[in-house]
């Protein structure tokens, strides 16, 4: 269940998922009101018991939050972050999804034996129109959830669906550009 606590989102292209404990642990180092500002800016994810577990931010909103409370840190973090290129499996939504996951803020790349390579290749073969079908999106989402669990990463269905839709949009755009 998501409890929306956002104000004035800029609706950026990338979503950032931050564990609430991570925000709490950093709040003592931040300029005043960091945690309160984060709670107002992002969307709080709560578990079945009502405990707040994560906050989802739009990329632009998160960058502004960090810049407000940790001046200069956003640029420093961007310089320190590893530049990882996705290893394309072809052209299409699967390749685009891998690119999104390999970039900031995720930096998730696949090993040669990862099942995500098979799913990405299937997505590329299906194309954007087929990937938009609800049953295909459910299949892709289930594969993403399974791989996240294998890696011990948090997974939020809404964020996964957003990334799938963005990958489809990017694949269509890139097809036109070629």
pLDDT at 40: 86
pLDDT at 174: 82
pLDDT at 117: 86
CA-wise closest residue to 170 among 96, 117, 101? 96
Q: Coil, helix or strand for 21?
A: helix
DSSP state of 86: -
- Record the tokens describing residue 129, joined without a space: 């129109």
Mean pLDDT, 10 residues at a time, the chain of 178 residues:
36 66 73 81 80 79 79 54 42 90 77 83 92 94 90 87 94 71
The separation between CA 137 and the C-alpha centre of its own chain, rounded to angstroms, equals 16
What order do you get walking across the sheet with 52-58 strand by strand?
Answer: 2-4, 43-46, 52-58, 15-19
The domain ranges of the chain are: 2-80, 93-177
pTM more than 0.85: no
pLDDT at 41: 83
pLDDT at 76: 52
Q: At what angle do helices 34-41 and 59-69 cross, to 10 degrees?
A: 170
């Amino acid at each position: 269940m998501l409890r929306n606590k956002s104000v004035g989102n800029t609706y950026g292209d990338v979503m950032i998922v931050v564990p609430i404990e991570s925000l709490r642990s950093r709040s003592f180092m931040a300029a005043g009101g960091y945690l309160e500002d984060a709670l107002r800016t992002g969307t709080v994810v709560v578990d079945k018991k009502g405990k707040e577990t994560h906050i989802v931010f739009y990329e632009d909103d998160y960058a502004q939050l960090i810049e407000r409370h940790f001046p200069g840190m956003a640029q420093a973090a961007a310089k320190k972050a590893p530049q990882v290129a996705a290893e394309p499996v072809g052209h299409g939504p699967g390749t685009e999804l891998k690119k999104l996951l390999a970039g900031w803020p995720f930096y998730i790349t696949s090993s040669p034996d990862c099942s995500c390579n098979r799913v990405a290749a299937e997505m590329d073969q299906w194309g954007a129109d087929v990937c938009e079908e609800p049953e295909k999106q459910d299949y892709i989402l289930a594969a993403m959830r399974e791989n996240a669990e294998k890696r011990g990463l948090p997974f939020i269905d809404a964020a996964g669906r957003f990334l799938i839709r963005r990958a489809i949009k990017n694949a269509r755009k890139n097809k036109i550009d070629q």
